[in-house]
Amino acid sequence: MKNKNSTKLYKADFKEIYDNGKYITTRYVKLNFIFNNTDHMRVAFAINRKQGNAVERNKIKRKIKSIVSTIETKPNIDVLIQIKPVIKSASFTDIKSDLQGVISSIAS
């Protein structure tokens, strides 16, 4: 890992999350996570090209970033959010309730 205090996740961080972390699968996303030693949450996204062109993929990522930024109790974790194709047909409130529920369950 490069710098644990950084807000950016590097390739080595992805490998550590996959190898040593846990995961939770929901209707719209799969969250791979591992607890870190920082005082903040670090987030990365994995979205497949099959899920649309760059505009559509970026729109989905902007929605999720917005949801993550509004979460009040952020646990000290590194999260890799793998986005499922069914998310394209979901409403913002459905995605929000899904993500907030799973992240709050990790925090407790």
Higher-pLDDT residue of 75 and 70 is: 70
In a domain, residue 49? The reply is yes
pTM to 2 decimals? 0.82
5 within domain boundaries: no
The CATH code of the domain that includes 72 is 3.30.230.10
Q: What is residue 4's predicted lDDT score, i.e. its pLDDT?
A: 52
Whether 1 is in a domain gets the answer no
Q: Distance (Å, rounded) from C-alpha 60 to C-alpha 1?
A: 28
Count up the domains in the chain and report the number.
Answer: 1
pLDDT digits (tens, 9 = 90+) for 20-54: 999 999 999 999 999 988 888 888 889 999 888 99
Residue closest to 68 by CA, chosen among 38, 36, 98, 34: 98
With respect to residue 3, please indicate whether it lies within any of the assigned structural domains.
Answer: no
* Per-residue confidence band for 5, with pLDDT thresholds at 50, 70 and 90: low
Residue 92 lies inside a defined structural domain of this protein: yes
CA dist 27 and 98 (Å) reads: 8
Could you tell me the CA-to-CA distances from 11 to 2, 18, 36, 80 in Å, in that order? 9, 11, 16, 11
CA distances from 41 to 8, 71, 90 (A): 10, 11, 25
Instruction: Flag the least confident range among 6-15, 17-26, 52-61, 64-73.
Output: 6-15
User: Tell me, what's the pLDDT at 2?
Assistant: 47
The answer to whether position 6 is within a domain reads no
Higher-confidence position of 104 and 62: 62
Q: For residue 48, is it within any domain?
A: yes
Tell me what the pLDDT averaged over the chain comes to. Answer: 86
Percent of the chain with pLDDT over 70: 93
- Picking from 5, 11, 27, the residue whose alpha carbon sits closest to that of residue 80 is 11
DSSP, collapsed to helix, strand or coil, labels residue 93 as helix
Q: Which residue did the predictor score with more confidence, 43 or 72?
A: 43
Q: Domain span at residue 39? A: 11-107
